[in-house]
Amino acid sequence: LPFYHPRAPSAEVEMTSYVLLAYLTTQPAPSQDDLSIATQIAKWISKQQNPNGGFSSTQDTVVALQALSRYGASTYAKSGGASTVTLQSTGNFQAQFQVDHTNRLLLQRMALPEVPGDYTTGVTGEGCVYVQ
């Protein structure tokens, strides 16, 4: 299968999620270094998700979603600027998403003209966006 991307075993997802939770629950609050490492861990966990948003088993799904939720809460900022997300294909397709204080908690999606295909994303502005 040319487009198959193997996912990590369930136990690895679960243990990594516990590590992320440990980084995010340090007292009094996670340091900037902790948040930098947590960002890399959250990216890895997100890459293990299946197309339905879950993982391999119910146990790793519960722990991973809890860890990702905690990560979102730890990195959320009430005051944030606006961002523009640009999505481009190697062909003529280009789309932009605007993210600001009025819609930053809303899911924005777009159908891709070719799946699979080669796409690149770019983000300008302030804040943090999650692109999947």
Whether 65 and 103 map to the same domain: the answer is no
- Smallest CA-to-CA distance from 51 within 118, 132, 113 is with 132
Whether 71 and 45 map to the same domain: the answer is yes
Whether 22 and 64 map to the same domain: the answer is yes
Name the E strands within the chain.
83-89, 94-99, 119-125
Whether 105 and 48 map to the same domain: the answer is no
pLDDT, tens only, 50-71: 888 899 999 999 999 999 999 9
Whether 17 and 57 map to the same domain: the answer is yes
pLDDT of res. 126: 84
Whether 69 and 120 map to the same domain: the answer is no
pLDDT of res. 95: 96
Q: Which secondary structure element, helix H or strand E, spans residue 14, and what is its range?
A: helix 10-24
For residues 7 and 46, the answer to whether their CB atoms sit within 8 Å is no
pLDDT of res. 6: 78
Full pLDDT tens readout for the chain, 132 residues: 455 667 899 999 999 999 999 999 988 888 888 889 999 999 999 999 988 889 999 999 999 999 999 998 888 777 777 899 999 999 899 999 999 888 888 889 999 999 888 999 999 998 778 887
User: In terms of pTM, does the model score above 0.75?
Assistant: no
Distance of CA 3 to the CA centre of its chain: 21
* Residue 48 burial by Cβ neighbours in a 10 Å radius (0-12, 13-18, 19+): buried
pLDDT of res. 43: 93
Whether 47 and 18 map to the same domain: the answer is yes
The residues with which 83 forms a beta bridge, in sequence order, are 99, 125
Task: Answer yes or no: is 3 within a domain.
Answer: no
Task: Answer yes or no: is 132 within a domain.
Answer: no
Number of domains in the chain: 2
pLDDT of res. 63: 97
How far is the C-alpha of 132 from the C-alpha of 129, rounded, in Å?
10
pLDDT of res. 2: 56
pLDDT of res. 5: 66
Q: Tokens 């998700």 label which residue? A: 49
Whether 61 and 98 map to the same domain: the answer is no
How far is the C-alpha of 9 from the C-alpha of 72, rounded, in Å?
24
Count of other CB atoms within 10 angstroms of residue 55: 23
